[in-house]
Amino acid sequence: MDIQGMLAVAILLPVVAAVLVFLIRQYQLRGLIVIVTAVALIVNSIYFLKLDLPMNFTPDNPIWGTIITVLDYAILLFYIYAGLSLKNWLVLIFALTQIIPLAWWEFGVGASHALEEIKPAFLIDNLAVLMVLVISIIGSLICVYAIRYMYDHEEHKKLEKSRQSRFLFWLVLFLGAMNGLVLADNLMWLYFFWEVTTLCCFQLIAHDLTKEAINNGARALWMNSIGGTAMVAAMIYLYNANGGNIEYLSLSNIIASGGVEAFLLLPVALMCFTGMIKAAQMPFQNWLLGAMVAPTPVSALLHSSTMVKAGVYLVIRLAPAFNPVLGMIVAVCGAFTFFAASVLAISQTTGKRVLAYSTIANLGLIIACAGLRTELAIAAAMLLIIFHAISKGLLFMCAGTIEHQIWSREIEDMEGLAEKAPLTTFITITGMLSMFLPPFGMLLGKWMALEAVYAVPLAAILFVLASAATMVFWAKWLGRLLQVTPKLGKKIESLSLSYSVPLWSLFVGIFVFGIGIAPLYDRFIKFAVDNVIPIQHAFTEGWQIILPDAATALSLEKGVGLLGSYPVLPLFIVFAIAIVLPLLFVKLKPQELRPIYLCGEHAGDVDTDEWYAEADNVSKLELGGYYFESAASEESLNAWVYVIAIALLVIMFSIALGVSL
């Protein structure tokens, strides 16, 4: 298959499949179309690895440019309609701030003819292929998971009329839009795909049509429309400030400038700002937190392989065009989000909300790495993108499975889940451990990021504090999952094939990619890093990762200029031993269970969990987690978070304006 066919499969096939699943009302046939599309996308994404990269492609027929222009305005007109129908003036305002300048630029000053000459339309390099793999593999598995999930979801809600076709339409379309976004080089095409992802996000969050869902969908729409407005402003500035020349309306040409052209700094900052909003960075985190009202496949897709990953992708792609000062402030912005979101996660009592804050935090870490702009930092960002996508996709699907088993999202209600749903609990715990402990890839990425941040002390401090907070919120949740209370009743676990295949695929992926991280880096990831920052060091030695001393930049001769190594195989062996030994030598027997000790104040039989409290009132013993609500709650911290985050953005734009104007 040639590159044209591969692009068609990556971008157009999901569009065709989305239309088919929307039109077909038969459950089994609709599911089959989703599965076939998923397999095709996965196979096609792997074929991208065989290409001689980098390479460019522009469709021969100019009609595609016209189609994209027409669809751009159709989307923006829909935003205007949505703002009016929902009486949400922020949606309306930020739709108008896009469509009016865009129409004036394209037709009022006659730029539309020149815009047709922007080439190439697509840039296919290793960074783009890395993103296509994440989107097509993990996103496709989530779509398969959604087939049965949405059936159960509607059964529970007792809907008279199914809306599964509509849901799957937007879910599958999302994959095509994301693939187009990460492959686009023409900024007009990038903007189009960017807006399609925003539209899909709005529709999916508002899917259940409750008042809360519609309001949260509208919030996601207007917040991301701020980013769309910033991108329109960046494109117009790039055209006008360069004397009507279309040269810098190509992403690759902006990157090739290397931050030397002073006038480029403002549009680069604007597009970086656009990426930060998409990645739900402070102070725009609420759109992603609000997305938790949507069915779980939406959360899994948004957090792992689409939407937010588009944001960090754009910031990483633009990193070579940062000047040192802009890079530093971007690093601090990301580090602050990493810290603030990690602290706020501690006080959350809902599983999906903890996962949401964890996503926001890790995206902040990735953006901080992009701002650092060193080889080690970009390598860390690439690893974090891959392993965060795998682990977070798995965790959200586990959260959805648990929700359909206990019909609750509350962490406290997950007590005893290890006994009631052992397989789901085992997979969930593994996913959690993969987020912050050795021998998994996320820890390696965080270690590399920490070693890379030495040049920005403030960011380094925030990294350390955030990492400590991360341990707290994961450990608290793990404790509830592992706690077992006797006599909880029969098991409630029942996993359909549509659940099992995606869950086990990502579960296996955690270990396969974790064990093979060194060859994975050596044969693929380092070339994606080279698309951003020229490679000067090797980070692998056999099956282990070795880190050079970035401060001295010494050669990687053994024992010279090394910060340390990450011996992958020994760590996995130790991990396996730590799991197997307790299973071999620790045997819990029923007779070893003891009644709860209540100082002789049992209200009745000693096996009861009721006791006499003050004034001989009978109280029930309850165990629960401590959530630090007085110190780490949103109510107590959000005001400070907003002030600091906005101040950092003001500094970023002040720097960009000062240099560009």
Where do the DSSP E strands lie in 88-137?
122-124
pLDDT at position 589: 62
Cross-strand partners of 612: 618
Rounded CA-CA distance 470/365 in Å is 12
Q: Is residue 117 part of a domain?
A: no
Residue 137: left if φ>0, alpha if ψ -120 to 50, beta else—which one? alpha
CB 528 within 8 Å of CB 127: yes
Tell me the torsion sign for CA atoms 521, 57, 109, 69.
negative
Mean pLDDT value across the chain:
87
Q: What are phi and psi of 209, to 5 degrees?
A: 60, 20
Q: What is the pLDDT of residue 551?
A: 45
Within-domain flag for 552: yes
Q: Identify whether 383 is part of a domain.
A: yes
Distance CA 180, CA 183 (A): 5
Average pLDDT rounded to a whole number, residues 626-648: 86
Domain containing 435 equals 322-586+644-661
Please state the rounded mean pLDDT for residues 563-577.
81
Give 181-221 as a 3 state SS string.
HHHECEHHHHHHHHHHHHHHHHHHHCCCCCHHHHHHHHHHH
Higher local confidence (pLDDT), 351 or 222:
222
Identify the pLDDT of residue 1. Answer: 74
pTM more than 0.75: yes
What is the pLDDT at residue 305? 76
pLDDT tens digits along 321-335: 999 999 999 999 999
- pLDDT (average), residues 614-633: 71
In tens, the pLDDT along 96-116 reads: 999 999 999 888 765 666 667
Range in 42-56, 433-447, 599-613 the model is least confident about: 599-613
Q: What is the DSSP letter of 241?
A: T
Q: In this predicted structure, what is the pLDDT of residue 555?
A: 39
Within a domain: 332: yes
pLDDT for the residue numbered 560 = 44
CB–CB of 218/206 below 8 Å? Answer: yes
Residues contacting residue 587 through CB under 8 Å, at least 6 positions apart = none
Report pLDDT for 548. 66
Q: How many domains does the chain have?
A: 1
pLDDT over 50 at 623, yes or no? yes
Residue with tokens 């950092």: 648
Looking at residue 600, its pLDDT comes to 56
Residue 501 lies in a domain: yes
Q: How far apart are CA 530 and CA 534, in angstroms?
A: 5
**What average pLDDT score do residues 279-292 get?**
93
- pLDDT tens, position by position, 395-444: 999 998 888 888 888 888 888 787 888 888 899 999 999 998 888 889 99
The answer on pLDDT for 315 being more than 90 is yes
Asked if pLDDT for residue 45 goes beyond 90, the answer is: yes
pLDDT band at 189 (very low <50, low <70, confident <90, very high): very high
Among residues 517, 524, 617, the alpha carbon closest in space to that of 567 is found at 517
Nearest to 44 by CA among 124, 145, 146: 124
Q: Is the pLDDT of residue 25 over 90?
A: no
pLDDT digits (tens, 9 = 90+) for 523-567: 888 889 888 888 776 677 777 787 766 544 433 344 445 667 778
- Is residue 68 one of the residues assigned to a domain? no
What is the arithmetic mean of pLDDT over 591-602? Answer: 62
Determine the pLDDT at residue 609: 67
167-173: average pLDDT: 95
Residue 266 CA to residue 251 CA, distance in Å, equals 15
In a domain, 508, yes or no: yes
- Please state, in angstroms and rounded to a whole number, the distance separating the CA atoms of residues 500 and 424: 10
pLDDT tens digits, 346-368: 999 888 999 999 999 999 999 99
Domain annotation covers residue 361: yes
Q: pLDDT tier at 597 (50, 70, 90 boundaries)?
A: low
Distance CA 184, CA 328 (A): 27
| φ, ψ (nearest 5 deg) of residue 374 | -105, 160
